[in-house]
């Protein structure tokens, strides 16, 4: 299906234009970034509407890339920028927009450089949308690397990371990963030209060249997932970020790798690749196990959420390595709910953390005094651990059954890790719900109605996704 | 009569000198802007006439105007015009006379124009010693001459040595080939079954002189010292304008006249390119003086450009050309930001001075970040196109080691630039900056807009450049 109206380019360009507007928006001590905030929210909402529209004009049952838009970008080297989407990539784009919207509301009352935060958020949104609509190797790479700069700025300026050295090493580390992908892309271009992403998995590469190209692609993608031995920078950065929007955006980074694996993984595995995959599964499961246990014993909720995110991302990764088409769509549906749950949980936990800091009190018993917060928080934790309140329930069940069917030992360890991270979240919920007379929190410290309604909207989305993942699509 | 009309571009440039002399001598109400206005009219009329007489020459054996030379000249004049405008802001702020600066710089621009059209080694013998003297005089353009005199003196000694090399090389070639003409020398070289060591030594000597003038490593020491001590208009001029002219001359020599000596020149250019890449990128890590840092960054960029030139193929030269354009735009932007950064009337030069700059100068900081990110080639900045173009050339020619070295140097310089961004954005503000001239913002806006237009549709620009570069050699 071709696209006469460049709607995919529009959803990439719109956040960028919004960023330019925010950049030139008036700001002062009195305004405290309200203009920037409003423009940012408006831009995201308009883009969400456009994404919704795209769902209606595309065939959501088809697995192929649709609504293709081609731009002749360069003649030497001959590069055409191609945009196209399928249901999976569009679901991810929508989930990212919703996650960022939730995150933006999480920093509503932020007065520290609000304008800059909105500028880099919109730039990140534009680049990540570009990444998911990319349908050729070059545009895929361009957006893969382009999202690093806004990410670096957001973490550095708003992450409140105490060890500043970590931030720039984190950038360098990711930049190195991107350069590896660049090398692989240049080699693929050298041998096969600027090819579509759908053809990358079928490249007839042989011998050492095949091992080299797939090796560096693998390294570049894995560098963005906190899997051993690449976990240090990501874990040290993620677990120390205190700004909810910065945390949400940083948590989306592994998603780009997950998506990259889906697009680049060879369609048929040969016997010599299988052995690497077995090792990959083992390393993945061991990482999951360790991170889930560290999350369990760690008292910091930020780390608990981080360990939850990591374990789930690795599970999705292992699901992708099982190389079964049916699992891929399940991963897409599950990721949609997962990203929303994580974003909402992060915003709420950040709210609790800042109240705790404000009153210099303990968080134990927080939820006993705040009814609205207690309701949404409890729902989200229960949905997060995989109980039947969101698309995570059915789809994770299917992914796990496939993984258990492939390798029972790895599958069991995976289930155990999921169990441990689930317990970690419940542990925190129980801590917040246990009455403590020392806690200085009162009814007035409950979340504002605006945030409550936003969370109700998230809960509504999750419940509807449980009933039917693409419930919002009205076919024309 | 018709022949003399063809010289109008040069005459327009030269008209600056008598007029400015008279103005300087007899006009009482002259300001630093007066000389910029004069240079502006000279350059604009020269641009106009260069376009009209783009393929006509008075003495084609000596100086040939074609599409290739016209493209480089137009770029050179346009960049000089922009930089002269920005320089006038510095002179206005400092309230100092700009007569000497504009006179020397205009004469250098005139000589660069001649160098770009050169078809005969005699032109090199004429232009390069003059350019050396003018660079020496330009370095001395400081209110405290004592401060820069030792740097200028060092430059003069080195340049004398290299001028000697140039004369030696050219005269030796003349002796063997029997002519100064570039085409005759090329034909003679092609006709030789065995080339005498004296001949390729001569070619190496001549190439080395151009590399010295470009300030490529290991001939870069004068450049770094000069940029750290000279006044800002001189720093900007030396960083932005000469690389364009010398690159054109180098391409003409290596890919034209000395093409039969490909195997002899390759090791020299290759060594210089790799040395420039690594000396440039590694040295930036140690620098606290921001002008020295960008001097090393220039050397790194020269290494990048030379990697393309040494392939001796038109495709690779297009890549080098693309990278040069991007470099010129980025450096113009960076020096524009420098012109906007002053505290208590003094222009800042230390990295610690720009710490926390984003708090008080958000637009300057954003532009600065965009330009330095562009230098490391992160998409969607314009620099990515340069990196892509050159890496593609290296991969196409299967120069795997060069490609790996290039990416390594890129990571090293990225390390420095990320540290700078960190200082600008992540640290609290340390200095109170003076009000920035609106013209600085306008120049930055135009530069960024131009970069955005080019990155959205680079093939449009490249289409013509490709034809011209391949046709001109």
| Nearest of B323, B192, B326 to residue B251 by alpha carbon | B323
Q: Identify which of B380, B385, B426 has the shortest CB distance to residue A157.
A: B426
Looking at residue A325, its pLDDT comes to 74
CB A462 within 8 A of CB A341: yes
A73 with B459: Cβ contact below 8 A: yes
A76 with B388: Cβ contact below 8 A: no
pLDDT tens figures, B254-313: 888 888 888 888 899 999 999 999 999 999 988 889 999 999 999 999 998 998 888 777
**How much of chain A exceeds pLDDT 90, in percent?**
46
CA distance B472 to B63: 13
In a domain, A89, yes or no: no
Looking at residue A369, its pLDDT comes to 83
CB A196 within 8 A of CB A135: yes
Looking at residue B167, its pLDDT comes to 95
pLDDT of residue B470 exceeding 80, the answer is no
In a domain, A23, yes or no: no
Whole-angstrom Cα Rg for chain A? 22
In a domain, A40, yes or no: no
**In this complex, is the C-beta atom of A176 within 8 Å of any C-beta atom belonging to chain B?**
yes
Q: Which of residues 125-154 of A touch B (CB under 8 A)?
A: 127, 141-143, 145-146, 148-149, 152-153
Looking at residue A161, its pLDDT comes to 78
CA distance A180 to A219: 8
B407 with A171: Cβ contact below 8 A: no
Across the range A109-133, mean pLDDT stands at: 91
B411 with A179: Cβ contact below 8 A: yes
Looking at residue B19, its pLDDT comes to 94
DSSP codes, A14-40: HHHHHHHHHHHS---TTTTTHHHHHHH
- How far lies B233's CA from each of B85, B137, B333, in Å? 10, 14, 13
CA distance B102 to B80: 11
CA distance A415 to chain B (A): 40
Mutate: best of B394, B422, B448, B457, partner A, most A CBs <10 A: B422
CA distance A308 to A155: 20
CA distance B470 to B473: 6
pLDDT tens figures, B419-437: 999 999 988 887 888 888 8
CA distance A476 to B102: 69
In a domain, A429, yes or no: yes
**In this complex, is the C-beta atom of B460 within 8 Å of any C-beta atom belonging to chain A?**
no
pLDDT tens figures, A437-470: 777 778 888 899 999 999 999 999 999 988 888 8
Looking at residue B460, its pLDDT comes to 75
B366 with A23: Cβ contact below 8 A: yes
CA distance A73 to chain B (A): 6
**In this complex, is the C-beta atom of B385 within 8 Å of any C-beta atom belonging to chain A?**
yes
What's the domain range around A322? 269-476
Mutate: best of B380, B389, B465, partner A, most A CBs <10 A: B380
Per-residue buried b or exposed e for A401-428, using 16+ beta carbons within 10 Å of the residue's own CB: ebbeebbeebbebbeebbebbbebbebb
CA distance B159 to B151: 12
pLDDT of residue A29 exceeding 80, the answer is no
A76 with B410: Cβ contact below 8 A: no
- How far lies B8's CA from each of A404, A472, B33, B452, in Å? 82, 70, 25, 34
CB A157 within 8 A of CB B426: yes
A156 with B422: Cβ contact below 8 A: yes
Count of pairs with CB atoms under 8 A, one residue in A, one in B:
81
**In this complex, is the C-beta atom of B366 within 8 Å of any C-beta atom belonging to chain A?**
yes
Across the range B9-33, mean pLDDT stands at: 89
CA distance A202 to A194: 14
In a domain, A231, yes or no: no
- Look at A221 and A275; give whichever has higher pLDDT: A221
What is the total residue count of chain B? 473
**In this complex, is the C-beta atom of B157 within 8 Å of any C-beta atom belonging to chain A?**
no
Contacts of B396 in chain A (CB under 8 A): 190
Q: Where are the beta strands (DSSP E) in A149-296?
A: none
**In this complex, is the C-beta atom of A64 within 8 Å of any C-beta atom belonging to chain B?**
no
CA distance A245 to A121: 8
Query: What domain count does chain A have?
Result: 1
CA distance A188 to chain B (A): 10
pLDDT of residue A269 exceeding 70, the answer is no
Across the range A323-348, mean pLDDT stands at: 89
- How far lies B116's CA from each of A19, A274, B51, B248, in Å? 42, 59, 15, 6
Tell me which chain B residue has its CA closest to the CA of residue A123.
Answer: B380
CA distance A38 to A29: 16
3 state SS of B63: strand
pLDDT band of A434, cuts 50, 70, 90: confident
DSSP codes, A65-118: -EEEEEEEEETTTTEEEEEEE-HHHHHHHHHHHHHHHHHHHHTTT--SSHHHHH
**In this complex, is the C-beta atom of A280 within 8 Å of any C-beta atom belonging to chain B?**
no
3 state SS of B343: strand
B425 with A172: Cβ contact below 8 A: no
pLDDT tens figures, B194-248: 888 899 899 999 999 999 999 998 999 899 999 989 999 999 999 999 988 999 8
pLDDT band of B456, cuts 50, 70, 90: confident
**In this complex, is the C-beta atom of B384 within 8 Å of any C-beta atom belonging to chain A?**
yes
**In this complex, is the C-beta atom of B358 within 8 Å of any C-beta atom belonging to chain A?**
yes
pLDDT of residue A398 exceeding 90, the answer is no
Distance from the Cα of residue B182 to its chain's centroid: 23
**How much of chain B exceeds pLDDT 70, in percent?**
99
- The percent helix, strand, coil of chain B (3-state, each to 5) is 80, 0, 20
pLDDT of residue A326 exceeding 90, the answer is no
pLDDT of residue B1 exceeding 70, the answer is no
CB B203 within 8 A of CB B169: yes
CA distance B271 to B277: 10
**In this complex, is the C-beta atom of A179 within 8 Å of any C-beta atom belonging to chain B?**
yes
In a domain, A366, yes or no: yes
pLDDT of residue B368 exceeding 90, the answer is yes
Beta pairing, strands A79-85 & B346-347 = unpaired
Q: Identify which of B358, B395, B462 has the shortest CB distance to residue A75.
A: B462
Dihedral of the alpha carbons of A201, A206, A208, A210, in degrees to the nearest 10: -10
Looking at residue B175, its pLDDT comes to 92
CA distance A98 to A95: 5
A167 with B426: Cβ contact below 8 A: yes
- Identify the burial level of B89 via C-beta atoms within 10 angstroms of its C-beta, where 0-12 means exposed, 13-18 middle and 19 or more buried: buried
**In this complex, is the C-beta atom of A316 within 8 Å of any C-beta atom belonging to chain B?**
no
In a domain, A153, yes or no: no
CA B148, B151, B157, B161 torsion-angle sign: negative
3 state SS of B159: helix
Contacts of B469 in chain A (CB under 8 A): none
Mutate: best of B426, B463, B467, partner A, most A CBs <10 A: B426
CA distance B61 to B59: 5
In a domain, A43, yes or no: no
- How far lies A4's CA from each of A11, A12, A67, A131, in Å? 15, 16, 8, 21
Across the range A187-211, mean pLDDT stands at: 85
pLDDT tens figures, A352-374: 988 888 887 777 888 888 899 99
Query: Which run of H or of E encompasses B346?
Result: strand B346-347
pLDDT of residue A388 exceeding 60, the answer is yes
Question: A75-79, A252-256, B181-185: which has the minimum mean pLDDT?
Answer: A75-79
CB B132 within 8 A of CB B219: no
**In this complex, is the C-beta atom of A212 within 8 Å of any C-beta atom belonging to chain B?**
no
CA distance A45 to chain B (A): 24
List the Cα angle A290/A291/A295 in 5-degree steps.
Answer: 120
Give, as one character, the DSSP assignment of residue B255.
I
Q: Identify which of B392, B410, B463 has the shortest CB distance to residue A77.
A: B392
**In this complex, is the C-beta atom of A247 within 8 Å of any C-beta atom belonging to chain B?**
no
Q: What is the 3-state secondary structure (H, E, C) of B418-451?
A: HHHHHHHHHCCCCCCCCCCCHHHHHHHHHHHHHH
pLDDT band of B49, cuts 50, 70, 90: very high
Count of beta carbons in the 10 Å neighbourhood of residue B64: 21
Contacts of A187 in chain B (CB under 8 A): 395
């Amino acid at each position: 299906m071709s696209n006469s109206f460049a709607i995919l380019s529009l959803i990439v360009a719109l956040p960028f234009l919004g960023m330019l507007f925010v950049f030139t928006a008036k700001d002062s001590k009195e305004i405290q970034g309200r203009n920037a905030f409003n423009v940012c929210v408006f831009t995201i909402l308009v883009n969400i509407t456009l994404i919704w529209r795209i769902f209606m004009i595309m065939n959501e049952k088809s697995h192929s890339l649709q609504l293709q838009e081609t731009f002749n970008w360069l003649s030497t080297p001959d590069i055409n920028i191609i945009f196209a989407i399928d249901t999976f990539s569009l679901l991810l784009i929508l989930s990212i927009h919703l996650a960022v919207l939730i995150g933006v509301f999480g920093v509503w009352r932020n007065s520290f450089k609000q304008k800059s935060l909105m500028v880099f958020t919109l730039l990140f949104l534009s680049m990540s949308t570009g990444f998911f609509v990319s349908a050729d190797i070059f545009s895929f790479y361009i957006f893969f690397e382009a999202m690093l700069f806004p990410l670096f700025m957001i973490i550095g300026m708003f992450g409140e990371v105490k060890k500043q050295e970590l931030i720039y090493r984190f950038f360098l580390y990711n930049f190195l990963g991107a350069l590896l992908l660049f090398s692989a892309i240049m080699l693929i271009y050298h041998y096969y030209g600027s090819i579509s992403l759908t053809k990358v998995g079928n490249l007839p590469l042989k011998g050492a060249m095949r091992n080299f190209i797939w090796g560096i692609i693998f390294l570049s993608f894995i560098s963005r997932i906190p899997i051993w031995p690449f976990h240090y920078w990501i874990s040290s950065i993620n677990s120390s970020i205190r700004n909810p929007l910065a945390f949400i955006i940083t948590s989306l980074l592994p998603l780009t790798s997950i998506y990259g694996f889906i697009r680049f993984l060879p369609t048929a595995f040969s016997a010599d690749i299988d052995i690497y995959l077995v090792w990959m599964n083992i390393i993945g499961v061991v990482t999951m196990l360790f991170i889930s246990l560290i999350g369990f014993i760690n008292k910091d909720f930020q780390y608990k959420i981080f360990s939850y995110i990591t374990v789930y991302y690795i599970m999705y990764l292992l699901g992708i390595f099982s190389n079964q088409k049916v699992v891929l769509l399940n991963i897409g549906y599950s990721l949609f709910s997962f990203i929303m749950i994580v974003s909402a949980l992060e915003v709420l936990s950040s709210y609790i953390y800042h109240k705790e800091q404000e009153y210099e009190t303990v968080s134990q018993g927080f939820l006993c005094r705040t009814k609205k917060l207690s309701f949404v928080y409890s729902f989200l934790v229960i949905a997060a651990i995989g109980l039947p309140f969101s698309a995570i329930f059915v789809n994770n069940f299917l992914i796990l059954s496939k993984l258990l069917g492939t390798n029972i030992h790895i599958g069991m360890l995976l289930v155990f890790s999921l169990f441990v991270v689930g317990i970690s979240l419940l542990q925190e919920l129980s801590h917040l719900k246990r009455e403590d007379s020392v806690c200085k929190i009162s009814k007035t410290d409950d979340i504002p109605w605006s945030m409550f309604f936003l969370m109700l909207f998230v809960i509504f989305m999750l419940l509807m996704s449980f009933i039917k993942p693409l419930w919002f699509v009205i076919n024309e | 009569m018709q022949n003399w009309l063809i010289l109008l571009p040069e005459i327009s440039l030269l008209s600056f000198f008598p007029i400015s002399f008279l103005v300087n001598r007899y006009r009482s109400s002259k300001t630093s802007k007066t000389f910029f206005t004069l240079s502006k009219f000279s350059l604009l009329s020269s641009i106009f006439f260069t376009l009209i007489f783009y393929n006509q020459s008075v003495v084609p054996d000596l100086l040939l105007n074609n599409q290739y030379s016209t493209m480089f000249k137009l770029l050179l004049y346009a960049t000089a015009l922009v930089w002269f405008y920005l320089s006038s802001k510095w002179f206005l702020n400092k309230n100092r006379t700009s007569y000497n600066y504009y006179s020397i710089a205009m004469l250098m621009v005139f000589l660069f124009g001649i160098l770009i059209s050169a078809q005969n080694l005699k032109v090199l013998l004429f232009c390069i010693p003059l350019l050396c003297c003018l660079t020496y005089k330009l370095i001395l353009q400081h209110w405290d001459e004592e401060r820069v005199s030792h740097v200028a003196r060092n430059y003069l000694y080195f340049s004398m040595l290299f001028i000697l090399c140039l004369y030696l090389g050219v005269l030796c070639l003349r002796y063997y080939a029997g002519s100064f003409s570039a085409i005759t020398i090329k034909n003679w070289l092609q006709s030789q079954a065995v080339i005498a060591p004296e001949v390729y030594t001569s070619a190496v000597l001549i190439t080395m002189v151009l590399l010295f003038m470009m300030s490529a490593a290991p001939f870069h020491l004068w450049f770094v010292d000069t940029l750290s001590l000279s006044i800002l208009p001189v720093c900007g001029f030396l960083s932005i304008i000469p690389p364009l002219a010398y690159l054109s001359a180098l391409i003409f020599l290596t890919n034209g006249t000395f093409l039969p000596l490909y195997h002899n020149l390759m090791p020299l250019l290759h060594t210089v390119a790799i040395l420039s890449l690594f000396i440039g990128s590694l040295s930036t890590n140690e620098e606290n003086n921001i002008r020295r840092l960008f001097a090393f960054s220039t050397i790194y960029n020269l290494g990048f450009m030379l990697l393309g030139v040494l392939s001796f193929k038109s495709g690779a030269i297009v890549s080098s050309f693309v990278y040069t354009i991007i470099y010129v735009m980025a450096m113009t932007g960076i020096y524009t930001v420098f012109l906007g950064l002053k505290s208590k009337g003094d222009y800042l030069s230390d990295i610690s001075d720009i710490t926390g700059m984003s708090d008080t100068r958000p637009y300057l900081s954003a532009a600065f970040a965009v330009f330095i990110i562009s230098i490391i080639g992160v998409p969607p900045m314009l620099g990515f196109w340069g990196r892509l173009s050159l890496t593609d050339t290296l991969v196409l020619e299967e120069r795997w080691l060069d490609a790996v070295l290039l990416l390594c140097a890129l990571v090293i310089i990225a390390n420095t630039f990320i540290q700078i961004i960190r200082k600008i954005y992540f640290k609290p503000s340390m200095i109170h900056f003076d009000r920035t001239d609106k013209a600085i913002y306008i120049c930055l806006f135009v530069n960024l807009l131009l970069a955005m237009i080019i990155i959205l549709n680079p093939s449009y620009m490249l289409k013509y450049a490709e034809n011209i570069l391949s046709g001109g050699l």
